Every structure is written in C-alpha cells, then in structure tokens.
C-alpha cells in the first residue's frame, strides 16, 4: 500500500514539474530507520533522473581491478529513453542511442564495465567513460540530449562529507534526496562496503557492513 501511495505521489510530482506548476517539494519520513533513509527520487525538481550513487575512490582490489562507477536512477513510474544524455564534469560519457532506464530502476556506468560486471554480478553496465572521478572532491553533471543540466553535484572528501567513501570501500549515495543534491545532508556513505550498484541502498542503517 505504501509503495503504491509513493508511486502515485511521484507520478503527481512528475506531472506538476512537467506542467511547470511545482518547482520544489519536501517529503520526509520521521520515524524509525525511515528517518535516516529515503527512497531514491528527484532532488532538484528539474528532472526525475538523479545520480544516485558515486564510487569515486573504491578500495584497492586484488589484481588492480578498477571498480569506479556512477549510478543513475529513474524515479518515474514509467521507463524513459535516455539515449543522447551525457555525463560531464570530472568524467565524460554519452549514453548510446536507444538506451532506456526502466521505471523506478537504475543504470550503472563504469570506468571498467567488465571489472564491475564481474565484481558485482551485473549484466548491464555501460561505459567506459573518459576521465577519472576525483579522489579529492569533484563535480558531476547529468545533461539531457538538448544539453540542459538535469542534475549536478559537487562532492567533497572533507567533513561533513562521509569519510568512508574516500578509499575505505563505501560509495557515496543520495540517501536523503529531499534535501537537494547541493546540500551535503542529502549524501551518505553506502551501508555495505562496495556500495550497491544497480539496486537500492539502505544508507544510514547501523552497523555498517
């Protein structure tokens, strides 16, 4: 019931944004673990798409595998074609024609797709991108096929940003999107070491695994 209600709310918000009626809304759960974690969703109200996870400084791997990746989430209750969208900033990558993200689903883009597929057992990983995610703080932007900026984040490694995302094995996740992606409080360290590419993360739960 709650999931159906959430989908209806997301649908209403998406329609209001498309109609230009709503620019900003804040929705937070205030009890239990839900007070710490929000379901992924639009954060800046300009787009239903977010960069939901950033593995900018993965822990060293045996054999030197590069597990650097980013993840895009579609918060709409319908799929959408994103061919021609691109990522820029510290890295650059254009999504291939006819690429689509299923409803309420994720798309993973990696520096070394083969390594990430093998490490996480994933089938669909795009890439490689050019450039590297900075280990000292950086910028990522998601642009649509008209080159409009849909989402932008300037992450950092210094407090109050999560320190365990900087080489300790955890990723950086958009755990509280209603703060807006420009607010450090919107970002959290992943619950599990290695992050959770391609699926929801329960960032904020204790203890960390």
Region 188-206: mean pLDDT is 84
User: Could you tell me if residue 187 is inside a domain?
Assistant: no
Total structural domains within the chain: 1
* pLDDT tens column, 69-96: 999 999 999 999 999 999 999 999 999 9
Computed over its alpha carbons, how large is the radius of gyration of the chain?
A: 16
Q: What gap in Å lies between CA 172 and CA 53, rounded to an integer?
A: 6
Q: What gap in Å lies between CA 209 and CA 205, rounded to an integer?
A: 10
* pLDDT tens column, 99-119: 999 999 999 999 999 999 999
Residue 62: band (very low, low, confident or very high) from pLDDT cuts 50, 70, 90: confident
User: Could you tell me if residue 107 is inside a domain?
Assistant: yes
pTM of full prediction above 0.85: no
Question: Residue 161 maps to which CATH number?
Answer: 2.60.40.1260
Quote the domain boundaries for residue 71: 2-182
User: Could you tell me if residue 41 is inside a domain?
Assistant: yes
User: Could you tell me if residue 108 is inside a domain?
Assistant: yes
* pLDDT tens column, 130-160: 999 999 999 999 999 999 999 999 999 999 9
User: Could you tell me if residue 43 is inside a domain?
Assistant: yes
User: Could you tell me if residue 141 is inside a domain?
Assistant: yes
User: Could you tell me if residue 177 is inside a domain?
Assistant: yes
User: Could you tell me if residue 206 is inside a domain?
Assistant: no
3-state secondary structure of 113: helix
Contact between residue 54 and residue 70 where contact means Cβ atoms under 8 Å apart = yes
Judged against a pLDDT cut of 60, whether residue 59 lies above it is answered with yes
């Amino acid at each position: 019931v709650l999931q159906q209600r959430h989908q209806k709310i997301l649908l209403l918000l998406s329609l209001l944004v498309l109609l230009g009626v709503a620019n900003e809304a804040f929705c937070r759960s205030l009890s239990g673990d839900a007070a710490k974690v929000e379901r992924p969703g639009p954060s800046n109200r300009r787009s239903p798409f977010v960069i939901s996870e950033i593995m900018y400084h993965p822990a060293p791997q045996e054999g030197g595998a590069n597990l650097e990746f980013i993840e895009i989430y579609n918060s709409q209750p319908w799929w959408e074609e994103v061919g021609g969208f691109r990522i820029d900033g510290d890295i650059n990558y254009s999504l291939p024609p006819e690429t689509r993200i299923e409803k309420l689903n994720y798309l993973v883009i990696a520096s070394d797709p083969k390594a990430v597929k093998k490490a996480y057992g994933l089938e669909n990983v795009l890439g490689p991108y050019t450039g590297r995610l900075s280990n000292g703080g950086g910028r990522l932007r998601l642009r649509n096929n008209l080159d409009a900026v849909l989402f932008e984040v300037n992450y950092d490694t210094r407090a109050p940003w999560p320190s365990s995302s900087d080489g300790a094995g955890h990723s950086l996740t958009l755990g509280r999107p209603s703060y807006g992606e420009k607010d450090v409080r919107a970002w959290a360290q992943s619950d599990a070491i290695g992050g959770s590419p391609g699926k929801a993360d329960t960032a904020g739960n204790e203890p960390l695994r």
